[in-house]
Amino acid sequence: MQLSVFRRLSPKKQHQLVATMGSLLCERKTKNFLIYLYQLDGFYIELFFFKESGEFATMKPFDNLDELAPYLEDIDLTYLLN
């Protein structure tokens, strides 16, 4: 599936696809949110949940690899230097 097709789907269908076909890659926390990063075909989806309540806030699909930067900061690559 292409990102443009995913974006045209209803929010309910988007959630279903992420839940059934998406691969959870990692998570991160901000001051107000828990954010889960999924991959689906050739693009990524961030699911934002309010930290205090755990309720779903929003979804952000993207295919720009620069937007993965917040996750890359937490990956330890020192073993590659040996």
For residue 23, give Cα distances in angstroms to 41, 75, 76, 78.
9, 18, 21, 25
CA 75/CA 16 separation, integer angstroms: 29
Specify the CATH number for 3-81; select among 3.10.450, 1.10.150, 3.90.75, 3.30.70: 3.10.450
DSSP string for 17-70: HHHHH-EEEEEEE-SSEEEEEEEETTEEEEEEEETTT--EEEEEEE--GGGGHH
Residue ranges covered by each domain of the chain: 3-81
pLDDT of residue 75: 65
State pLDDT tens for residues 21-54.
Answer: 999 999 999 999 999 999 999 899 999 999 999 9
Entry pTM: 0.86
